Amino acid sequence: MEAALYHPEHGYYGPGPRRIGRSGDFYTAVSVGPLYGQLLSTLARQVHEKMGQLADFSVIEQAAHDGQLAEDILSTCDFHYLIVEPNPRYQTVQRLKLARFGSRVSWVSSLAELPAVPALYLCNELPDAMPVHLVRSDGECWQELYVRAGENDTLQFVPGQPSSEALLAEISRLPTNLPPGYTTEVHLASLEWMRQLAKAPFHGSLYLADYGLDQEELHMPERHTGTLRRYHQHQTDDHVLEDLGRCDLTTHVNFTRLIETAEATGLRLSSYTHQGRYLGKLGLPWLTSLEGQRPDATTQALLRQYHSLTHPAFLGRSFRVLVLEK
Ligand SMILES: C[S@@+](CC[C@H](N)C(=O)[O-])C[C@H]1O[C@@H](n2cnc3c(N)ncnc32)[C@H](O)[C@@H]1O
């Protein structure tokens, strides 16, 4: 999965940022329009004020992709912006897009390189794009599913012993009463990322938005094939070994384990809720300010974006927002 997504030449994300939105393979809150960035600017102002309006306060973004969210936030607030971007090709695209903001933007290639500043850290749809280990129960034990080339070079899953102690430790937390054949994912990479976030030198608030479930929802008997899916041109299926590198591969985030890991590493849970509820509240002062006015075309477009971001039938319910304090 890591190679299929991040191989520099052949991975889905490796060569450079792909289009997201109508002409891409999937939508994200960022691709809905600039309102999302405007709401996150409001959040940045709130965190800045709560932290005592410190002069070196910064907004940090990881998974900045083509720099769209950064542009939307930089256009609506005055803070310094730090992007965590390991892929130099993405940095090039981001530098071009954000050139007009000059020295207000800077880049580091890993969380460990961040400065010790007061900050709001943001990421939109990052952990769902991290590689996972697939495991399958035979009714008594869990086996890991490895990828092997079969006849005619077609790829197939082959069960074997779990590949590491870390995986075995996560497997020991899985429910034991699941039926034979039950398949699910273990998110070692996202748990390690959470530990790195806890160790990174900045302090302040962390805002993480993604689609995902609590452990109980994730391991319901009816979800017996797990959540690993591929996306191509807004179509989704579970043929995850086909068209590698041409399709996005993704899983639902296990929010329970992310929160447990965050708390075990010293981060504090501030809030965890549906995106609709979180952004609805954040956008309330803006909505109230529109009362009694006839909205112009720009405001009407922003109101449609608000609807897409918050309505349960669009991004409001399947996406969740986790806010941590550090
Ligand atoms: C589903 S896309 C989301 C892009 C964007 N945040 C949005 O919401 O439109 C996932 C992104 O995560 C990025 N990514 C994955 N691992 C990363 C890492 N360790 N550091 C920074 N970005 C990463 C990928 O390059 C890709 O741009």
∠ CA(182), CA(146), CA(244), 5° rounding? 100
- Among protein residues, the one with the nearest Cα to ligand 1's atom 2 is 125
pTM of the model: 0.97
For 154, the token pair is 């077609």
322, 258 contact by CB (below 8 A): yes
Ligand 1 atom at minimal distance to the Cα of residue 20: 9
Backbone angles phi, psi at 149, to 5 degrees: -80, 125
For 171, the token pair is 């497997």
44, 59 contact by CB (below 8 A): yes
CA 306 / ligand 1 centre spacing (Å): 23
Ligand 1 atom at minimal distance to the Cα of residue 26: 1
pLDDT in tens, 136-188: 999 889 999 999 998 888 999 999 999 999 999 999 999 888 899 999 999 99
- Among protein residues, the one with the nearest Cα to ligand 1's atom 14 is 63
One of 3.40.50.12710, 3.40.120.10, 1.20.1530.20, 3.40.718.10 is the CATH number of 15-127+188-217+249-325, namely: 3.40.50.12710
CA 62 / ligand 1 centre spacing (Å): 7
Mean pLDDT of 283-287: 96
pLDDT in tens, 41-59: 999 999 999 999 999 999 9
Instruction: Delimit the domains of the chain by residue range.
Output: 15-127+188-217+249-325, 133-171
Quick check: 72 pLDDT over 90? yes
Ligand 1 atom at minimal distance to the Cα of residue 248: 1
Pocket test for ligand 1, best of 40, 68, 126 (most atoms within 8 A of CB): 126
Q: Percentage of residues in the chain with pLDDT exceeding 70?
A: 100
Quick check: 83 pLDDT over 90? yes
Give dist(CA 225, CA 235) in Å, integer.
Answer: 18
Quick check: 103 pLDDT over 90? yes
DSSP 296-319: -HHHHHHHHHHHHHH-IIIIITTE
- In this predicted structure, what is the pLDDT of residue 177? 84
Give dist(CA 14, CA 34) in Å, integer.
Answer: 26
Give dist(CA 102, CA 272) in Å, integer.
Answer: 35
Give dist(CA 248, CA 322) in Å, integer.
Answer: 23
Q: Give the mean pLDDT of the chain.
A: 96
Which residues have C-beta atoms less than 6 Å from ligand 1? 13, 17, 20, 28, 30-31, 62-63, 65, 84-86, 124-126, 129
Quick check: 194 pLDDT over 90? yes
Give dist(CA 283, CA 41) in Å, integer.
Answer: 11
In what helix (H) or strand (E) does residue 60 lie, and over which residues does it extend?
A: strand 58-62
Quick check: 67 pLDDT over 90? yes
Beta strands per DSSP E along 126-194: 133-137, 142-149, 155-160, 183-186
CA 320 / ligand 1 centre spacing (Å): 17
Indicate the pLDDT class of residue 119, thresholds 50, 70 and 90. very high
